[in-house]
Amino acid sequence: MKTPLSLVLALTALVPPALPAAAPDAPSPYEPLAFLVGHCWKGTFPGGDVTDVHCFSWVYGDKFVRDVHVVHRGPGHEDQGESLYVWDAPAKQLQYLYIESAGGFSRGTVASEGDTLVFPPSHYTENGEEQTYRSRWQRSGEHAYEVITEFNLKGAWTPGFRVHMQQLPAGQTR
């Protein structure tokens, strides 16, 4: 028995056309920072008297990343700072603006090299004076990372400091 053409056309209309395969979501430009977000991290500077705590969070959903930090230099002696990380789509780079309680600031970029965040040379400016620095944050397991910062003094890179940052338990900020 032949199926009438009108029935074939009617049945065909009921079948949705095949949709093209959805393109996979592009990775977030903030992916290199994602392991930090939602956690606070604490490190002790060489000598053991000064600690630094960084707490990372998303801003406006997942549009930006904020890093609020406090350097504890003893009772009543705290320096505060904040970095805001932004994706500059035209430049195709992750950038940051860092500001701190003494009035200093710096701007720069950050790139990912495997499990390391690389902060190329940048200038920290405070009271009209500049200091050139560069830094690397290398993951050390799932709950820690190493910060290695160098300063440019008279045209030569010299060691600044190395700090092991350890993830703090949930809810702890000191």
- 129-139 and 144-153 as β-strands: parallel, antiparallel, unpaired? antiparallel
- Partner residues linked to 53 by β-bridges: 42, 70
CB atoms within 10 A of CB 13: 8
pLDDT score for 12: 45
In angstroms, rounded to a whole number, what is the distance separating the alpha carbons of residues 80 and 102?
A: 8
Burial 23-45 (b: 16+ CB within 10 A, else e): eeeeeebbebbebbbebbbbbee
Q: What is the pLDDT of residue 172?
A: 79
> In order along the chain (174 residues), what is the average pLDDT of each group of 10 residues?
47 48 73 96 92 96 96 86 97 97 97 96 96 97 96 96 95 80
Q: How many CB atoms lie within 10 A of CB 75?
A: 6
Matching residue, tokens 């890179």: 157
The three state secondary structure string of the chain is CCCCHHHHHHHHHHCCCCCCCCCCCCCCCCHHHCCCECCEEEEECCCCCCEEEEEEEEECCCCEEEEEEEEECCCCCEEEEEEEEEEECCCCEEEEEEEECCCCEEEEEEEEECCEEEEEEEEEEECCEEEEEEEEEEECCCCEEEEEEEEEECCEEEEEEEEEEEECCCCCCC
Stated pTM of the model: 0.83
Contacts for 140 with CB less than 8 Å, ≥ 6 apart: 146, 164
Residue 24 confidence (pLDDT): 61
